[in-house]
Structure 1
Amino acid sequence: MFYLYILYSKTRDKYYVGSTADLEDRLRTHDSNHSGFTGHTGDWVIVYKELFENREESYARERAIKKWKSRKLIEKLISSDCS
């Protein structure tokens, strides 16, 4: 199983969209002290996730959301989550 996920950092007041097979391990990586968009913050939390059968589907959904380039649409998606 693969996940599309959205993280939020209160420190940066930013969202991050990604996909992975191991959600918990990926979150640990994002929260580690590394170079890159999510590095040096350490307060990322999962605010949304979707489950997919394969990597291609989760990655396609990730790309679709990133193409939105809209914080408002991301927040609407998160607020509509029933989980």
Structure 2
Amino acid sequence: MIYSVYILYSDTSDRYYIGHTGNVEKRLYEHNNPEVQTKYTSKYLPWRIVAHIEVSQDRGEAMKLERFIKQQKSRNFIESLIANQKDIEFIEKLMSSALSKSQ
């Protein structure tokens, strides 16, 4: 299984949500299903995927990348990540920063 970090966006609330998972489509369904009570995302339905980055078979690395992105506390950083999600060099630098910072 490949773990990914994903970014969701709610048009109705103009908010982003960042998470990690082994199944992005299933996780999006869970975030948008009102019967699955998620603390944060259930308040801002509906959500759509705006980015997803395949990280590794190691869930821990996906968790470190998720944490690194959240620690930036920057909408500009998130929007830059969304815009550059297909740029392999950008993603490699991001992963390197995230993994070296957490050690």
Q: What TM-score do the two structures reach when normalised by structure 1?
A: 0.90
Please give the alpha-carbon distance, in whole angstroms, between the structure 2 residues aligned to 1:52 and 1:77: 14
Please give the alpha-carbon distance, in whole angstroms, between the structure 1 residues aligned to 2:15 and 2:32: 14
Between Structure 1 and Structure 2, which shows a larger proportion of helix residues? 2
**Gaps in structure 1 of 5+ consecutive residues:** none
Structure ranking higher on relative contact order (CA contacts 8 Å, 6+ apart): 1
Higher deviation after alignment, 42-51 or 58-67? 42-51
CA offset digits 1:22-67 (Å, max 9, x no partner): 1111111100112511004332111111112210111000000000
Runs of 4+ in structure 1 over 4 Å off: none
- Contact conserved, 1:27 with 1:44, CA < 8 A, in 2? yes
Aligned residues: 83
What value does the CA root-mean-square deviation take over the aligned residues? 1.4
Which of 1 and 2 has greater Rg? 2
Given the superposition, is the C-alpha separation of residues 80 and 35 from structure 1 closer, same or farther in structure 2, using an over 3 Å criterion? closer
Q: What TM-score do the two structures reach when normalised by structure 2?
A: 0.74
Between Structure 1 and Structure 2, which shows a larger proportion of strand residues? 1
**Gaps in structure 2 of 5+ consecutive residues:** 88-103
Structure 1 vs Structure 2: percent identity of aligned residues? 39
